[in-house]
Amino acid sequence: MNEKEIAELRRRFRPDKTNITKVRGCYVNESKEIVSTFEQPLCLMAEDESEGILKILKKTLSGQVGKNLIDIEFTNGQVLEGEEHKLLSRLRESALEDKEAVSDFFTRAVESIQFDGSYLLMLISDSYDVFSYGKDGSKNEDSVSVFSYILSCVCPVKLTTPQISYYTGENAFHNIAVHSVVASPEFGFLFPAFDDRTANIYNALFYTRNLSDDHESFIDRIFGSRAPMPADVQKEVFQTVLATSVPEAGTMEFVRSFHEQVSDLMDAEQEQDEEDEALMLSAEKIGGLIRDCGGEETSAERFEKEYKAQFGEAKLLPKNLIDRKHFEVKTPDVVIKVNPDRLDLVRTEVINGAKYILIRADDNVEVNGMDIKITQ
């Protein structure tokens, strides 16, 4: 799913747009026990309460694609015979009216969730009349298809901090009672994916708030799939592969050139149509970048081999490899932040046997907010 498709679904989570009639779920305590289950109609809630529920659910479709929002893929065999896919399909096709399927889902999910503290596991069903666009780009409100989906999320339940409040009517202070509050989702998913503005039963969209947590046991139990490598871990593994297989990567010139080339690819991607597929980098594509940055042919080949040993045939998003907006040079005692568009101002050099980081400085130099002059 691309950002435009996700944004289209996010707009559904408003009282006047949604077809969600009720929220199903269960409350799980610190001992991983299902204390209670619930089935609450949105129409019977106060307006602020239903808006609060929709706001929480909406956050399951938030964050960056490829980082917080990750594609889960099903194989042909899973779609045809896999028990995990069959259960998700039963939930979707029955609009959560299949009580046995709902109970089975809760049991599987709770058994697999590794979570400290109590939480709510929520589950909703929605049907979206997908509109079309005219040749002139105008929106046609007539439905061309119906996208039916389920969405689930896991929300921590936290206690508020005890506080003192002043009651003017009594002219006195009193303690405010401690309450349980439902926090934003830690993770969740959408099934099926909304690809090309239609249902793709071969994919689901998984959300995680914490970029370093892959929720491996949950993904294995609910989807029967291997958890994708978290974005933060992708970057660490990639940097290790690059450093160990490409000797040239240990120079400022190489790092600067690689950062610039990947940044150029990301800039070009921003200019393309939002409906185009996101730019993904394969082992061969990155190998080509290594050659362009001055890496030897043997280094590029060695990198491609090590890359496939770690990532297989998976492709990586450029934004998971570099931070386009930041470039930092760091020693144990000094941190230098450089405008990514002016990396030419920084270089390294050995002078009289000592290693230096050199920064070209013309005018407007400040130290602790004070203007200084650099003299001969």
pLDDT at 285 over 70: yes
Mean pLDDT of 242-246: 93
Mean pLDDT, the chain, rounded, equals 88
pLDDT at 375 over 90: no
pLDDT of res. 91: 96
- CA–CA separation, 126 vs 20, rounded Å? 5
Q: What is the pLDDT of residues 116-165, one digit of tens each?
A: 889 999 999 999 888 876 666 666 666 678 999 999 999 998 876 677 77
Q: What is the pLDDT of residues 22-48, one digit of tens each?
A: 899 999 999 999 999 999 888 788 888
The secondary structure of 227-247 as a DSSP string is PPPPHHHHHHHHHHHHHHH-G
Mean pLDDT of 57-75: 91
pTM: 0.78
Percent of the chain with pLDDT over 70: 93
Question: Which pair of tokens denotes residue 310?
Answer: 């770690």
Q: What is the pLDDT of residues 268-283, one digit of tens each?
A: 877 665 555 678 899 9
337: which strand partners? 328
| Residue entry with tokens 């099934």 | 191
Mean pLDDT of 4-31: 89
Peptide bond into 192 cis (omega under 30): yes
pLDDT of res. 275: 52
Question: Which pair of tokens denotes residue 355?
Answer: 């290693």
Q: Which amino acid is at 343?
A: L
> Where does the pLDDT of residue 266 fall: very low under 50, low under 70, confident under 90, or very high at 90 and above?
confident
- CA–CA separation, 181 vs 346, rounded Å? 49
- CA–CA separation, 155 vs 158, rounded Å? 9
Question: Which pair of tokens denotes residue 176?
Answer: 């405010």
pLDDT at 376 over 80: no
Query: Would you mind telling me the total number of residues written for the chain in this entry?
Result: 376
Q: What is the pLDDT of residues 357-370, one digit of tens each?
A: 998 888 788 888 88
Q: Name which of 227, 221, 229 is nearest 82 in CA terms.
A: 221
pLDDT of res. 25: 92
CB 304 within 8 A of CB 283: yes
pLDDT of res. 103: 95
